[in-house]
């Protein structure tokens, strides 16, 4: 018996929608479960830990915080979303895991930024002559109480910092007190707009893959399912 054309087109449409969903989602290859395991008991997986202020090999940046790199650059959590940086989930309680500057530069914090700072690096160590920016966020609690170092009050502009300077502490601020994110640091390397400012970090096309800056494979497309680490010799784990 021949199926009506309408039913056939409906089935094709459903298959296409499901296919597009899974293509756009670009799942995080099992890292979701590992993130949950880490959050529940970090002590069970010390092998997943990266260490703040450590340098992996000859990478120009130091590791900005302690914890597990749960999500990578170009991971996805929902259809059409592409993660613009990395998420490092700390091993301690809210407001206890320090966040440090990964490289020398000039720090600014916009007046309405509760959990974020951005550091201008005038001379990209990987491409001299190019200006880049490093962005650090979620340094506040769910209600927006800042966990940023008081040295960097809201509205500060172009404060000189050195690699390893304390910026603040990991928090869980999402902008919605009823729906906080898990405690972590979101870190990204942002492109310059060519006029001395930074581009919108929310668009992955305005960011760089942070892998060569930190000496780890932090690209979800080339490091599927793995938790990037750096051992004492600077080699990737």
| Tens-place pLDDT, residues 141-189 | 999 999 999 999 999 999 999 999 999 999 999 989 888 888 999 999 9
Domains of the chain: 28-214 (2.70.70.10)
Torsion angles phi and psi, residue 121, rounded to 5: -115, 105
Instruction: Tell me what pLDDT residue 5 has.
Output: 57
Helix (H) or strand (E) holding 189: strand 185-191
pLDDT-flagged residues of the chain (< 50) = 1-2, 7-27, 232-237
Residue in this structure with the two tokens 């296919």, named with its chain if needed: 19
| pLDDT tens string 72-91 | 998 876 666 789 999 999 99
Whole-number pLDDT of residue 191: 98
């Amino acid at each position: 018996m021949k199926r009506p054309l309408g039913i056939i087109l409906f089935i094709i449409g459903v298959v296409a929608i499901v296919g597009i969903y899974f293509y756009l989602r670009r799942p995080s290859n099992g890292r979701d479960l590992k993130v949950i395991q880490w959050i529940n008991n970090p002590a069970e997986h010390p092998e997943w830990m990266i260490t703040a202020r450590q340098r992996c090999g000859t990478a120009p940046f130091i590791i900005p915080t302690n914890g597990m790199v749960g999500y990578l650059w170009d991971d996805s959590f929902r259809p059409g979303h592409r993660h613009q940086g990395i998420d490092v989930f700390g091993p301690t309680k809210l407001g206890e895991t320090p966040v440090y500057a990964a490289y020398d530069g000039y720090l600014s914090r916009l007046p309405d930024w509760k959990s974020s700072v951005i550091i201008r690096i005038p001379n990209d160590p990987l491409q001299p002559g190019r200006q880049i920016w490093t962005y650090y966020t979620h340094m506040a609690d769910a209600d927006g109480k800042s966990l940023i170092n008081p040295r960097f009050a809201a509205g500060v502009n172009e404060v000189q910092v050195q690699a390893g300077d304390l910026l603040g502490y990991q928090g869980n601020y999402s902008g919605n007190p009823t729906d906080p994110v898990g405690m972590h640091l979101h870190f990204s390397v942002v492109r310059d707009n060519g006029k001395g400012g930074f581009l919108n970090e929310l668009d992955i096309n305005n960011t760089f893959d942070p892998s060569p800056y930190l000496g780890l494979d932090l690209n979800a497309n080339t490091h599927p399912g793995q938790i990037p680490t750096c051992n004492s010799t600077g080699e990737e784990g």
